[in-house]
């Protein structure tokens, strides 16, 4: 897939790797990802974030995310911390059946998004 496929797109997290299993985020955890103007950002369960991003035909890397600093319930803060740490491990991307899969350098699926 060409990198242009991700430009100016909006995504909503539907699954994330928790241990060895992909699972949906908690219902009240809104996690989004938008690619725009050479950067990525969105909502990370509690706060808004933004990160530098480098997109190749099948490669994808995120810089360190910066974000707002609102406090939320401990479960949402944990989802947020895990999500932002996971973004730093992303190395590859693929669109499968309209879903965006972000993977690490070994090919392990870390995050799955649906287009919003």
Burial 81-111 (b: 16+ CB within 10 A, else e): ebbbebbebbbbbeeeeeebbbbeeeeebbb
- What is the pLDDT, as a whole number, of residue 38? 87
d(CA 20, CA 7): 30
Output the CA–CA distances (angstroms, integers) from residue 89 to 39, 64, 70, 98, 105, in the order listed.
17, 11, 24, 22, 8
- What is the pLDDT, as a whole number, of residue 75? 92
- What is the pLDDT, as a whole number, of residue 80? 95
Taken in order 50, 96, 103, 110, the sign of the CA dihedral is: positive
Find the domain containing 21 and state its range.
3-115
Domain count, the chain: 1
pTM: 0.93
- What is the pLDDT, as a whole number, of residue 7? 87
One digit per residue, the tens of pLDDT, for the chain of length 116 reads 455 589 899 999 999 998 889 999 999 999 999 999 889 999 999 999 999 999 998 999 999 999 998 989 999 999 999 999 999 999 999 999 999 999 999 999 999 999 99
- What is the pLDDT, as a whole number, of residue 2? 53
Q: Can you give the CATH number for the domain in which 56 is found?
A: 2.40.128.270
């Amino acid at each position: 897939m060409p990198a242009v496929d991700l430009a100016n797109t909006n995504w909503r997290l539907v699954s994330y790797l928790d241990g060895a299993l992909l699972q949906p985020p908690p219902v009240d955890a809104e996690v989004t990802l938008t690619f725009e103007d050479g950067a990525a950002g969105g909502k990370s369960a509690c706060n808004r974030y933004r990160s530098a991003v480098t997109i190749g035909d099948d490669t994808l890397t995120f810089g360190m995310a910066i974000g707002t600093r609102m406090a939320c319930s401990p479960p949402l803060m944990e989802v947020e911390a895990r999500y932002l740490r996971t973004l730093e491990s992303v190395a590859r991307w693929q669109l499968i059946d309209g879903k965006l899969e972000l993977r690490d350098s070994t090919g392990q699926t870390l995050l799955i998004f649906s287009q919003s």
